Amino acid sequence: MPNTSNHAAWIKAQGQALTVSDVPMPQPGAGEILVRNRAVALNPFDGIVQTLGSLVTPWLRYPAILGSDVSGEVVAVGPSVSRFKPGDRVLGLALGIDKLANRAAEGAFQNHVILRQEAATVLPDSVSFEQAAVLPLAIATAACGLFLEDQLGLRTPCVEAPMPTGKTVLIWGGSSSVGSAAIQLATAAGYEVVTTASPRNFDYVLGLGASRVFDYNDTDVVATMTKELGKRDMAGALAIAVGSGAPCIDIMSRCRGRRIVSMASPPVPIDDAPLGSQLLWKLRRLPRLLAGFVGLAIRARLRGVSTRSIWGTALMKGALGATIFNDFLGPALASGRVVPAPKPLVAGHSLHALAEALALLRRGVSASKVVVSL
């Protein structure tokens, strides 16, 4: 076990700023590994939990350590761990704020973190820690939407060239971190991918494996995509971008195949809630959020489309987590079937940089993911 001290960026309660301080050194239990973090990535959900924890993670115990995306070096392993050893370079999905764990030792925003072995992947030397950190939650969320039986239920990916299924998946929001992962996972499973992006990111998503890409800002995009996809056997749609549920429902209602939409984002933005007092924000935004969800349910029912909401860590409740992280992702990274995407945007080099990195994320980035190296 390491003798060094541990530090973390805490939130002491919902709506408070991050505070960097000493924390206990975690001890790995059965099936767990202790990792010295070298890079952490930030997700919009981190800011949402910070400001709206009682709404999205009501189980969360405070003080809490946020963050889901980590990469670093294994420094110790717990009993029954056979896949990892001290010195291994890994990426992993930190589950500290998830109901499955709900403990600070598993939060990403610290120097040393506990990972579960079924949520970690050995890194090839060709992938840097900053590149690796963009992947865990994006891969997990995309895998949940694509492969869980209560979502799209698609065939799982393989490292070798897959046998084509002859079916097409619509992924709305292909240049996002989840979209980038979903394109690669779906094509690795043998599905054709049609996606959306802004024109400046067309080449980017095509390079990840999409066969067609459409401009989501085009006022006729739903009609244009419906005309294109109406000729195909659809396996379902993944609605990733905020507000993309409605156009995906409209498109899938006019297509052949499975009329199902798995949604990874709300109908209206909720990542701009302020720290501190939120009364005015909630009075303005929560009625719109509720109306948005009700409107989507009515829209889907009237059009004969089934909808699902994705919880990005649900794959860890069954065998899919180990299938993706232990069996698929490491070899796929080594072979180049999966590439780290989008590119990391390094916003600092210490835990103290996380607050500004969250502010940068709230201001918005395109085809990149905010990362802090440690």
Task: Kindly state whether residues 248 and 146 are assigned to the same domain.
Answer: yes
Q: What count of other Cβ atoms lies within 10 Å of the Cβ of residue 258?
A: 19
Judge if 47 and 69 occupy the same domain. Answer: yes
* pLDDT value for 206: 98
Model confidence at 27: pLDDT above 60: yes
| 107 and 199 share one domain | no
Given a cut of 60, whether residue 2 has pLDDT beyond it is no
Which pLDDT belongs to residue 277?
87
Q: Would you give the DSSP letter of residue 267?
A: S
Q: What is the mean pLDDT of residues 208-237?
A: 96
Residue 30 lies in a domain: yes
pTM of the model: 0.96
Q: Which backbone phi and psi does 309 adopt, to 5 degrees?
A: -110, 135
**Phi, psi (rounded to 5 degrees) for 185:** -65, -45
DSSP summary character for residue 316 = G
Number of structural domains (the chain) is 2
Q: Is 335 within the bounds of a domain?
A: no
How many CA atoms, within 13 angstroms, populate the side-chain half-sphere of residue 138? 35
Q: Are 262 and 300 in contact, with CB atoms under 8 Å apart?
A: no
Q: Please list the alpha-helical segments (H only) found in 209-278.
A: 221-229, 245-252
Q: What is the mean pLDDT of residues 269-288?
A: 93
- Whether 308 and 260 have beta carbons less than 8 Å apart is answered as yes
* DSSP element (H, E) containing 301: helix 279-303
Torsion angle of alpha carbons 11, 15, 17, 21, nearest 10°?
Answer: -20
Q: Is 319 among the domain residues?
A: no
Q: How far apart are CA 6 and CA 200, in angstroms?
A: 42
Co-location of 150 and 288 in the same domain? yes
Checking if the pLDDT of 113 tops 70, the result is yes
Same domain? For 162 and 69 the reply is: no
- For 101, the domain range is 6-134+342-373
Question: How confident is the model at residue 75, as a pLDDT?
Answer: 97
Among the three residues 286, 309, 332, which one is the final residue of a domain in this structure? 309
Mean pLDDT of 302-325: 97
217 and 96 within one domain: no
Rg (CA), the chain: 20
Span 100-128, average pLDDT: 97
pLDDT higher than threshold 60 for residue 3:
no
Block residue for tokens 């980590």: 70
Q: Are residues 184 and 302 in the same domain?
A: yes
Answer yes or no: is pLDDT of 1 > 80.
no
Q: Specify whether 153 is located in the same domain as 282.
A: yes
Do the domain assignments include residue 205?
yes
The predicted pLDDT at position 104 comes to 96
* 108 shares its domain with 175: no
Contact indicator for 100, 317 with CB cutoff of 8 Å: yes
User: What is the rounded distance in angstroms from the CA atom of residue 306 to the CA atom of residue 37?
Assistant: 40
For the chain, percent of residues with pLDDT exceeding 90 = 95
Average pLDDT over residues 333-338: 96
Last residue of a domain, one of 309, 332, 351: 309
Mean pLDDT score of the chain, rounded to an integer?
96
| Bigger pLDDT: 366 vs 357 | 357
Output the domain CATH number for residue 253.
3.40.50.720
Is 181 in contact with 138 (CB distance < 8 Å)? yes
Of 3-12, 198-207, 220-229, where does mean pLDDT reach its minimum?
A: 3-12
Asked if residue 331 belongs to a domain, the reply is: no
Confidence of residue 365 (pLDDT cuts 50, 70, 90): confident
What's the average model confidence in pLDDT over 226-249? Answer: 95
Phi-psi region for residue 113, left (φ > 0), alpha (ψ -120 to 50) or beta? beta
Do 81 and 181 have their domain in common? Answer: no
Which range has the worst mean pLDDT, 142-146, 250-254, 361-365? Answer: 361-365
Do the bridges between strand 306-309 and strand 260-263 make them parallel or antiparallel, or are there none, so unpaired?
parallel
Burial class (CB in 10 A: 0-12, 13-18, 19+), 283: exposed
Q: What is the CATH number of the domain that holds 22?
A: 3.90.180.10
Residue 78 placed within a domain: yes
Both 59 and 101 in one domain: the answer is yes
Give the strands of the sheet with 64-65, arranged side by side.
19-23, 6-11, 64-65
Find tokens 């240049």 and name the residue. 175
- Among 277, 276, 249, which residue's Cα sits nearest to residue 263? 249
> Strand runs (DSSP E) across the chain, as ranges?
6-11, 19-23, 32-41, 64-65, 69-77, 89-93, 112-116, 120-122, 168-172, 192-197, 212-215, 233-239, 256-257, 260-263, 306-309, 343-346, 368-373
**Any idea which of 84-88, 112-116, 252-256, 276-280 has the lowest mean pLDDT?**
276-280
Q: Which amino acid is at 268?
A: V
Q: What is the pLDDT of residue 366?
A: 84
Taking the C-alpha atoms of residue 200 and residue 37, their distance in angstroms, rounded to an integer, is 33
- Residue 199 lies inside a defined structural domain of this protein: yes
Residue at 237 is within a domain: yes
Q: Which amino acid is at 3?
A: N
Does residue 363 sit in the same domain as residue 249? Answer: no
Per-residue confidence band for 85, with pLDDT thresholds at 50, 70 and 90: very high
Confidence of residue 356 (pLDDT cuts 50, 70, 90): very high
pLDDT band at 260; cut points 50, 70, 90 = very high
